[in-house]
Amino acid sequence: MVRKTKEEALETRNHLLDAAEDVFYRLGYARTTLDAVAEAAGMTRGAIYWHFKNKSDLFNAMCDRVHLPMERLAESVNQETAGNPLDHMRKVAVFFLKECDQNPHFRKIIEILWKKTEFVDPSDAMYIRQHEAGLNGREHIRTALTRAVDTGYLSPDTDIRLAGVLLQASIEGILQNWLLEPGYFSLANEAERLVDACFDTIRSAASLRKSVQTVQPE
């Protein structure tokens, strides 16, 4: 009986998260209310409070279903101690892009986070989480690129900071362009070539060398 109760509670929780996903996608973060989510789920507001503290907690849990697995995968870049760290980073980037194309839930969450979320309060739990996620992502990239230099897979003269900026901007830019116009190119079919182009640039671009002096305008 206890097991059945836990399964039913989990089913209810997932149903609420499905409803929240649809409402946040339709209305955006700021305009979404718990009443709207409850109505979409066909439940009471009290049912939401049974599972979640507030809107931020609900939003966080909704993102966790698809976002945390990607965060764990990103962290695995720096848990791989053998082999070429660039190859592992490539796999992560390709997985991220293909997952956005092939997993509707993942794509919807990414669109909510990037296009329909208006964080104006720096003390908001989700604002803090998103800010920390960005910092952590950059740190994972920096650490992996540093290890690639240390193990000889990148030139010792590589400007790691600039290479990290380029890599993150390139992957996010590819996805932003596809989300804006999915018919422009096939993300699933072209992801590997696009990611390879990013890493080819990091490996060989003379402009990503520390020896390059930037000329300041007069």
Predicted local confidence at residue 211, as pLDDT: 80
| Residue 27 and residue 62 in contact, taking contact as beta carbons nearer than 8 Å | no
Is the pLDDT at 81 greater than 80? The verdict is no
CATH numeric code, 1-52: 1.10.10.60
Mean pLDDT in the chain? 86
Residue 159 tokens, joined: 């400007």
What would the mean pLDDT of 207-216 be, rounded to a whole number?
72
Q: Where are the domains of the chain?
A: 1-52, 59-208
Rounded CA separation 65/79 (Å) = 22
Whole-prediction pTM value? Answer: 0.79
Name the pLDDT band for 71 (thresholds 50, 70, 90): low
Is residue 4 over pLDDT 70? no
Distances (CA, A) of 37 to 32, 44, 73, 187: 8, 9, 30, 31
CATH topology of domain 59-208: Tetracycline Repressor; domain 2 (1.10.357)
- How far apart are alpha carbons 144 and 11 in whole angstroms? 39
Comparing 36 with 140, which gets the higher pLDDT? 36
Q: Decide if 107 contacts 17 (C-beta within 8 A).
A: no
Q: Which of 133, 128, 91, 87 is CA-nearest to residue 110?
A: 133
Where on the phi/psi map is residue 152: left (φ > 0), alpha (ψ -120 to 50), or beta? left
For 158, list phi and psi in degrees, rounded to 5.
-65, 135
pLDDT value of residue 5: 83
215 pLDDT above the threshold of 60: no
**Per-residue pLDDT, 51:** 94
Distance CA 141, CA 133 (A): 12
Alpha-carbon span 174 to 166, nearest angstrom: 12
How far is the C-alpha of 24 from the C-alpha of 141, rounded, in Å?
A: 30
How sure is the predictor about 2, in pLDDT bands with cuts at 50, 70 and 90? very low
pLDDT band for 127, please (50, 70, 90 cuts): confident
Q: Is the pLDDT of residue 207 over 90?
A: yes
* Across 58-67, 114-123, 175-184, 189-198, least confident range: 114-123
Beta bridge partners of 158: 209
User: What are the two backbone dihedrals, phi and then psi, of residue 46, each rounded to the nearest 5 degrees?
Assistant: -60, -35
Phi, psi angle pair for 209, to nearest 5° = -100, 145
pLDDT digits (tens, 9 = 90+) for 86-102: 998 898 899 889 999 99
